[in-house]
A and B are shown apart, each in its own frame.
Chain A
Amino acid sequence: MKLYDYILSPSCYKVRLMAALTDVRIDIRAVDFHPGAEHRGAELLALNPAGAIPILQDGDLILTESSAMLVYLASKVDPRWLGGGTAEEAARVQQWLSFSHRLTASLGGARLHEMLLRPGDIAGLQAQGTAALRELEAGLVEQSIRGMRFLASQRATIADIACFPYVALAPDGGVSLDPYPTIRLWSRAVRSIEGFIEMPGIHRLHDLKPEPLPETSGF
């Protein structure tokens, strides 16, 4: 399985994270997205005419939508990540998968503008990002009242993996997470999942590591 990947891309990170959580080995093909704009070159346009990454290739299967990649990895290895014990839960997973595109467009757009100097209406992107975060916060509060820690279920599903990266990186685009306590708790819960991996800008929970032992001195 080959992932056309950019280390700073939150959408690519969704796939790397899902693969790590399901213990799937993927071959990384690094794409010079910035500054080289390799995703708009002939080789990658042939795979994805939209000129975007990630692209996941497994034999004849070529996927260009990160949500589809999450579904593929989960279905193949560990269907528990698909959620869907009940009709309501299955629908919630789909609801948040679709919602994740709004996070990409708004918070992701703001991040590209603020960090990599991509053009865009920054005030508009930040306002849409804030609206999406408020909706996510409300959704997570409702879940917590139902006694659930994650977006669709008591355990994490692909919906959480689809939404987590752009939310965690919102401050990169100048959108603070300070007003959203439930999002911060959820972020902590996601980062606590066994097998979690970080990306630049998303730090691991150092406090979950064993207490560092003092170095043994030579005397």
Chain B
Amino acid sequence: MKTGEIKIITGNDLRTGDVVWWTGEGWSRHVNDAVEAGEHAEAVIARENAKQIVTDTHVIDATRTAEGVRPAHIKDRIRALGPTVRLDLSLKPADPDAGTWVI
């Protein structure tokens, strides 16, 4: 799996609005499952848009390291985690320091 700076695809589940990430085979709610979309990003987005399961699909910059995938922009990191002021509603409700990841 490619590490370093990567391009990943994100969107929102049409029915629930949940933030989702393209895994190469489908969509996951966990950003660490995201894969490098590379030169196929536009084709993936076109194909997935046609299925009308995920909406607002777009490509963002991120970095993959041994710790996982970290979106480049704070807005996308907050999308990946959840509201930093309600960690109980985030994807890491048991981690009181989870909010520091976005900063």
- A and B: bona fide binding partners: no
Chain B contact residues, CB within 8 Å of chain A: none
